[in-house]
Every structure is written in structure tokens, then in C-alpha cells.
Amino acid sequence: MATDLRVSLTDRCNLRCTYCMPAEGLEWLPGDDLLTGAELIRLIRVAVDRLGVRELRFTGGEPLLRKDLPQILAAAAELRPRPRMSLTTNAVSLARKARQLALAGLDRINVSLDTLRPDRFAAITRRDRLDDVLTGLAAAQDAGLAPVKVNTVLMRGVNEDEAPDLLQFCLDHGYQLRFIEQMPLDAQHAWDRAKMITAEEILDRLSARFTLTPEPTERGAAPAERWLVDGGPATVGVIASVTRPFCAACDRTRLTADGALRTCLFATTETDLRGPLRAGASDEELAQLWRAAMWGKARGHGINDDGFAQPDRPMSAIGG
């Protein structure tokens, strides 16, 4: 059963990461195509009330660009059973918003951070905002949005040498680090498997400085394999979507900012919920569309198959 719903709030972003989009950005969705706050909450309520969703992850684009985010969080927090809520952000504007988000009902936060070096940060994101991100991380910790998780993508010839430094930084500050294998979800369709740093390589680099032992608890549907660092209790995780797929345990569904339901991050088909919703469909009719889509969920993402086709939507338009 898909109990974890990823909700994209916008396709817009205030960074221009090289592995996500071109320097000039993308053609953003027209405003009328985006789900309104009321429409988002209705679909979330259907998911919680009728489909057993218990975890909500708000994504983008950059979800902090959504002005009604606190209201959406507060409304979702009123649902029963109350879903656990998290959010993935680049943290550029998190410092001034973290406490408000916590008060609205957000439980925890994930922050994307690929380097601790200002020059590299500017090169990767095409923006000079590293200090804002680091300040945002600290603000999230202070606001109680724990555990604060850091998501890192390593790229060959760009930042792979920073793996141990990033882990030490997270250990020093009480953050939980997750390395993510780079996936074929860029708008340019320029992903190259040879340039991807694999899970095995990540672990080898970390093991040069730290002692890693497998975390003994069951992984369940969690995407990250976890290792105890120097005996624990601190851990580090690796999300190896390409080299160690975990599709059989996947419990996630994705709702795009324009109301399309996706059963997989790499799906090439979608189910439109915005159209029926705006045409007057009942909650049960929306739930039936949702169930039908999930029954058709593919067994795997197929990245390693010869016939794999990258989705037309880039990551920013899908939601992580």
C-alpha cells in the first residue's frame, strides 16, 4: 500500500543546479495550471481519509516559494489520523521561515547540499547562496524540525572528494546525511552513467576516514541503506536508486504541482486528477482514479533496462 505521498507545490526554483536545469531556467507552469491551496488540501484529505496515506513530503521545485505553504501545512495537520509531514528544500530562504513552518505543523526537514565550498556551491547552483543554506540548516535545528536531514549528490570531477568532509560536518552539527546516486531526471537529458558516483564508490570514500557498519534495524520501505558511523549512534545513508534499486519495497506516490498523479519518479504516464476535480468529481470518484493508477504501478523503474526512457518531466516538475 502506498502510504507515503510526495506533494509538489511548484515547479519553480530559485537555484539553477547544473544537474537539474539549464542556466536560463525552464518554462514554468502557468499559474492557472497549478493546484490551488484548497485543491491541494482536498486531494491530500482524500489520500489520508480514503487511501491510507500517513506520510506527506512537500517538494518542488522549491516549496518555500509557495506563499500559502504555512496554510497548507496547518490544514494538513488538522487531518485525522494526522499525517507526519516533512519538506525537501534548498534552504535558501529557510532561516526566516523555519519557525513559522514548525508552528504550522511541519515535523522535519530535508535540505539539499552538495558542497561546503563557496566556489563550488556557486558553480553547481549558479548562485552564491551557501551562507544562506548553512544558516537555514541551523535555523531548522533550532526550530525543532528534527531530524534535520541533508541530501547530497556526488558528481565525478565536481565534488566527490568532499564526501568525508560532508559527513564530518553533519556529525558535528547533529544532521543526518544521505548521499543520493545521481539519477536521469535532468531537463537537458544529459545524464551520463559513467559520471555518476555509485553507492560502492561513496562507501569506499567514506571508509577511508570512518568505520562503517550496517545499521541493524530493518530498512522497510525507506529508500536509504544506512550505516553506523564509528560504532554509532550516528548514521549515514546512501540512496542507490540506480545501482541498488529498491522498487519492490516502494510505498510512495507523487502528486505534481499541476495535479498529475505519478506512481513512480520515472513513470512515463500520469493520471490527471486536476481535470476531474475541477469538473466536480466527488471524493470517492477521485479516490477511485487514484486506486486504479496505483494498481497499475510498474514493478520497477527500469533504469537498467535497455529500453529505458527518461521521463519528459524534469525533476523540478515532478517533485522529489
Q: Distances from the Cα of 46 to the Cαs of 9, 40, 123, 170, 260, in angstroms? A: 17, 10, 42, 37, 15
The CATH number of whichever domain residue 164 belongs to comes to 3.20.20.70
Task: Say if CB 205 and CB 164 are below 8 A apart.
Answer: yes
Q: What's the domain count of the chain?
A: 1
Q: What's the CA gap between 28 and 19, in Å, rounded? A: 18
Residue ranges of alpha helices (H) inside the chain are: 37-51, 69-77, 98-104, 118-125, 130-142, 163-173, 199-207, 274-278, 283-295, 315-318
Q: Supply the range of the domain harboring residue 195.
A: 4-317
Tell me which residue has cell 534552504. 91
Of 282, 155, 289, 182, nearest to 242 by C-alpha is 182
Other beta carbons less than 10 A from residue 32's beta carbon: 7
Q: Has 213 been labeled as part of a binding site?
A: no
Q: Has 183 been labeled as part of a binding site?
A: yes
Q: Has 6 been labeled as part of a binding site?
A: yes
Residue 194: what pLDDT?
Answer: 73
Residue 315: what pLDDT?
Answer: 64
3-state SS class at 62: coil
**Residue 157, Ramachandran bin (φ over 0: left; ψ between -120 and 50: alpha; else beta):** left
Q: Has 254 been labeled as part of a binding site?
A: yes
Q: Has 97 been labeled as part of a binding site?
A: no
Q: Has 170 been labeled as part of a binding site?
A: no
Q: Has 88 been labeled as part of a binding site?
A: yes
Tell me which residue has cell 490527471. 272
172-195 residues labelled b (16+ CB within 10 A) or e (exposed): eeebbbbbbbbbbbbbeeebeeee
Q: Has 313 been labeled as part of a binding site?
A: no
Task: Say if CB 23 and CB 246 are below 8 A apart.
Answer: no
Tell me which residue has cell 529500453. 307
Q: Has 252 been labeled as part of a binding site?
A: yes
Residue 117: what pLDDT?
Answer: 98
Q: Which residues contact 35 (CB under 8 A, 6 or more apart)?
A: 43, 257, 258, 259, 274
Q: Which residues contact 233 (CB under 8 A, 6 or more apart)?
A: none
Q: Has 112 been labeled as part of a binding site?
A: yes
- Tens digits of pLDDT across the chain (320 residues): 689 999 999 999 999 988 888 888 888 888 999 999 999 999 999 999 999 999 999 999 999 999 999 999 999 999 999 999 999 999 999 999 999 999 999 999 999 999 999 999 999 999 999 999 999 999 999 999 999 999 999 999 999 999 999 999 999 999 999 999 986 655 566 557 677 899 999 999 999 999 999 999 887 778 889 999 999 999 999 998 888 766 677 788 999 999 999 988 777 789 999 999 999 999 999 999 999 998 877 665 556 555 556 667 766 667 76
Q: Has 149 been labeled as part of a binding site?
A: yes
Q: Has 17 been labeled as part of a binding site?
A: yes
Q: Has 264 been labeled as part of a binding site?
A: yes
Separation of first and last alpha carbons in the chain: 19
Residue 191: what pLDDT?
Answer: 58
Residue 300: what pLDDT?
Answer: 53
